[in-house]
Each structure stands twice: as C-alpha cells, then as structure tokens.
Amino acid sequence: MDKVKKHFQEEADVFDARVLKAVPFYNDMLEALVSTIPCAPEQKIKVVDLGCGTGSISKKIKEHYPNAVITCVDFADNMLKIAQDKLAHYKDIDYVLCDCRDFDFSSGYDAILSSLTLHHVREQREKKDFYKKIFAGLNDNGVFYAADLVLGSNDYLQKLNLEKWGEFLARSLSKEEIMEMKGRYDEEDHPFRLMDEISWLKETGFLTIDVVWKYYHFAVYGGEK
Ligand SMILES: C[S@@+](CC[C@H](N)C(=O)[O-])C[C@H]1O[C@@H](n2cnc3c(N)ncnc32)[C@H](O)[C@@H]1O
C-alpha cells in the first residue's frame, strides 16, 4: 500500500490529465457512479467519497446535489490538496487524510461512493471486511457504489478486457507509457472478478445489487442497504 500512496503523492499534479488517457469513458463512468444516488436533487444527503483523489467525483455530486454534505477521504495529501482547491467554492465538504479502511463511518451516510480506489485492496478477506464496514456505515436505504477495475469471468474474457483497454491506451499514449502503466497495473492493482464482487456484496447483506455501467475492464456496481 505504501507504494500506491507514494505513486499518488508524486503524480497528483498530472492525475487529471492522465486519467482521461488511462480510463475509457472516464467522465461517463463518473456520471454513472453519481447517478446511483436515489435522492431528489435538493435533498441534504450525507455522502462519503472514498479515495477521492483530486475531487472529481465530489464535484459531480455537488453539481447534481448542491446541498450534499460530503466527506472526501484519501491517504495521499497531495491528491487531497488538489481536491480542496477544485472544490473550494462549494460548502459542506470535509477532507479526511487517512486510509479509507480506517475511516470512521459511524455517523451514518446516505451514499458511500468510490472510484478507481478499492482495487488497491489486495486480499479477498480484507475486501469483504471492508464491505461489512461500509454496510454498517450506511443509513437504511443508503447506497454503496464503486466504479472500478474488474476481472472477466474467465481467461478469454479477461484477455478481451486487457486487449480493449490496450486499444484505448494506444489512442493517446506511447508504447513506453503503456508499458509503464501496465507494469504498474501488475504491481499495484488487485482487481477481482465482477461476479465475485457481486456475491460478496450479497453476502454482506446489500439488496438490489446491480451493475449500472461497464466497459470491459471497468465497471460501476453496488447495492442498497
Ligand atoms: C486512481 S485514483 C482515483 C481518484 C478519484 N476517485 C477518481 O476516480 O478520479 C485513486 C485514489 O485513491 C487513493 N487511495 C488508494 N488506496 C487508498 C486507501 N486505502 N485509502 C485512502 N485512499 C486511497 C489514492 O491516493 C488516489 O488518490
């Protein structure tokens, strides 16, 4: 995890430009993520943005839910600083510098969202435990959704996922940049099969679980308490 933290600490300044080249349809994916909040736009909902990075998800939340009270959580303070600048003119946003697995969810949330972060949790046991913590932190009818990397259900589908991702990367990155990105993927990223994620959410007690968006290696999935 230290390596992941160091990587985001060092690359905070270039993150926003790079993510558009690294993640297919990044903006559509974030729109899909934020659209899962089943509330009226004027409601004063309480939301956590886990691994908020430079604040793009929270910005979208505020655009759709201007009265939302948001807690942005990230363990890389350089990312959190950019989020603070990006969101400076919005009120009711708190910034918490910590590992999201140590975050105290006890005040109760209507929505817990996370984008491109939870694939850094390496172990299945740890992920399941974290889902339990998230579930406990939701108010009744609250929702948890993640936008994240996922594995295909068999080798053929996983190969297809990687090929399609590679095709996307080749549109705007050099061969060297792609090699570097894939090297980092092998070392730092630990996605699980989407279908396993779904079954862990079910085991945790989530209801109306769904996948609201998917493009090969990337999906938006979650459920309701
Ligand atoms: C790929 S970036 C995604 C940022 C943002 N959610 C987005 O989609 O634009 C992942 C972010 O999660 C943070 N992160 C990764 N693991 C974390 C953890 N265990 N606790 C807190 N932050 C974490 C990193 O510091 C980084 O800012």
**Alpha-carbon dihedral sign for residues 11, 15, 20, 23:** positive
- Ordered by where they begin, the domains of the chain are 2-224 (3.40.50.150)
- What are the structure tokens assigned to 202, written together? 């079910």
HEC string of 76-135 equals CHHHHHHHHHHCCCCCCEEEEECCHHHCCCCCCEEEEEEECCHHHCCCHHHHHHHHHHHH
Per-residue pLDDT tens digits for 147-201: 999 999 999 999 999 999 999 999 999 999 999 888 888 888 899 999 999 999 9
Whether residue 130 contacts residue 204, with contact meaning beta carbons closer than 8 Å, is answered with no
pLDDT of res. 224: 98
Whether residue 212 contacts residue 35, with contact meaning beta carbons closer than 8 Å, is answered with yes
pTM above the 0.85 mark? yes
pLDDT of res. 148: 97
Residue 203 has pLDDT above 80, yes or no: yes
For residue 210, the CA-to-ligand 1 centroid distance in Å is: 23
Whether residue 187 contacts residue 3, with contact meaning beta carbons closer than 8 Å, is answered with yes
Residue 2 has pLDDT above 90, yes or no: no
Cα separation of 138 and 177, whole Å?
Answer: 40
Neighbours of 69 (CB within 10 A): 15
pLDDT of res. 9: 87
Task: Using CB atoms within 10 Å of the CB of residue 85, give its burial: 0 to 12 exposed, 13 to 18 middle, 19+ buried.
Answer: exposed
Looking at the DSSP assignment, which residues form a beta bridge with residue 23?
none
pLDDT of res. 1: 65
For residue 8, the CA-to-ligand 1 centroid distance in Å is: 8
Arithmetic mean of pLDDT, 123-138 = 97
Arithmetic mean of pLDDT, 125-148 = 97
Nearest alpha-carbon partner for 131 in 215, 196, 71: 196
pLDDT of res. 11: 85
Q: Is residue 163 in contact with ligand 1, taking CB distance under 6 Å? A: no
Q: Is residue 57 in contact with ligand 1, taking CB distance under 6 Å? A: yes
Q: Looking at this protein, which amino acid is placed at residue 221?
A: Y
Q: Is residue 211 in contact with ligand 1, taking CB distance under 6 Å? A: no
Classify residue 225 by its DSSP letter: -
pLDDT of res. 20: 96
**Average pLDDT taken over every residue of the chain:** 95
Residue 97 has pLDDT above 70, yes or no: yes
Q: Is residue 116 in contact with ligand 1, taking CB distance under 6 Å? A: yes
